[in-house]
Amino acid sequence: MILLIFNIFLWTCEVLTLLVKILGIFLEQLAKYVVPQPRKSIDGQIVVITGAGSGIGRQLSIRFAIQLNAVVVLWDINRESVERLNNEIRLLGGISHPMIVDVSDEKQVESAAGQVRQQIGAIHMLINNAGVVPCLPFNQLTCPQIRRTFDVNVLSHFWTIKQFLPIMEEYGRGHIVAIASSAGIMGSPYFTAYGSTKFGIVGLMSSLRKELHELDKHTQIKLTTICPLGISGTGINIPTRTRFPKILPIMTLDYAVDLMLDAILKEDNLVVLPFTFKLIFFVYRICPLKVSQLLFEFLDYAVEPPGFNAPIGRSHYHNNGNDRDYRNHH
C-alpha cells in the first residue's frame, strides 16, 4: 500500500513537471511574438549554398556574402550562372568560391565537400536549396522525371548532410537549413512528385532534429526547415492563382528571402511563410479533412500546369526576372 502511494506520488510529480515545462515552452513561444528576438552574427563564417546560381539560392548567396560578410561557397550544376554570381559578389566586395556540383550525385558531393574542407575550411552553415519543380498531372509524369525530382530534391540532402554533419559534430557547432515548400506540409494538385519530395525533406529534418536531441547535440547544431508559399521572380515560371492575395499572397523573391534570412539568423525550427499562411496551416492541422478541403476550395490557392487556365478574376504571377540591387547594402 505504501509503495503504491509512493508510486502515485512520483507519477503525479512527473505529470506536474511535464505540465510546467509545456507551459514554459508556450510562454517562450509567445514571447517571441512580443519581444524582438536576437539574430546571430555569421561574420566570417563559411556557408555552403546549393542551387546558388539562380532564384532563392542566388539571393541568399548575395545577402550572406554582402550584407552579413560570410564566406559563401556557391554550389550549382550550371557553370555559367554560378560563375556570373561569383563575379558579381566579388565586385561588390564579398568573398565567394564557385564550385560546379551536381548534388544528386553522391560522389560529386563527396569530392566537392572534401575540396571545401581542404581549401576553404570547416563550414558553419549548410543551406540545401537546390531543387527541380515538375508541375504536371500525375498521369503525365514520366518515370525519369519522378526519379530526377527525388534525386535532386531529397537524396541530395542526405549526401550533403552526411558530408558536413560529422564536421559540425567534431567542432561542436553548425547550422543546417533546408528550403522546403508549402507543398511539403499540405500537398497540392499537380505537385505530386514535387510535394512528395518536400514532405520528405520536412520528415528528414524533423527526424534528424530528434536524433540530435537524443544525442544531446541539439544545442550545438541547429536545424531550420523553411516552407514558403509561392514566390515570383525565382526563374520558375509556374502560374499560380490566389483568390485572396492579402491572405495567401504570391510573395516577391526579395520579400520571401527577407523572411527566410530572418528565420535562419534567429535559428527557428519549422518556418511557415508568410505569417498569414502559418495561421491557416494551424487551422488545417486541427480541422477534419473535409473542413480543410472546403476551406482551401474557398481560398482557391493553387498552381496550374502549362495549358491550364485559372478562373477569371484570379490573380496570377509569372516570373518577371527583376532582382533587387544590393550595392546599397554593402
Structure confidence by residue, pLDDT tens digits, 41-89: 999 999 999 999 999 999 999 999 999 999 999 999 999 999 999 999 9
39-329 belongs to which CATH class?
A: alpha beta
Give exposure, 32-50, as e/b (b: 16+ Cβ within 10 Å): eeeeeeeeeebeebbbbbb
What span, in angstroms and rounded, lies between the C-alpha atoms of 53 and 98? 9
Cβ partners under 8 Å of residue 135, min gap 6: 190, 191, 194, 238, 303, 304, 305, 306
In three-state secondary structure terms, 209 is helix
Domain map (residue ranges) of the chain: 39-329
DSSP secondary structure letters along 313-326: T-B-----------
> What percent of the chain is modeled with pLDDT above 90?
59
What span, in angstroms and rounded, lies between the C-alpha atoms of 316 and 321? 15
29 pLDDT tier (thresholds 50, 70, 90) = low
What span, in angstroms and rounded, lies between the C-alpha atoms of 176 and 76? 18
Residue 31's pLDDT is 67
Residues designated catalytic: 194
What sign results for the dihedral spanned by CA atoms 144, 317, 302, 262?
A: positive
Average of per-residue pLDDT across 142-164? 97
299 pLDDT tier (thresholds 50, 70, 90) = confident
pLDDT exceeds cutoff 60 at 329 = no
Q: pTM score, two decimals?
A: 0.85
Vertex 94: Cα angle to 320 and 132 (nearest 5): 40
CB 250 within 8 A of CB 231: yes
What span, in angstroms and rounded, lies between the C-alpha atoms of 123 and 102? 19
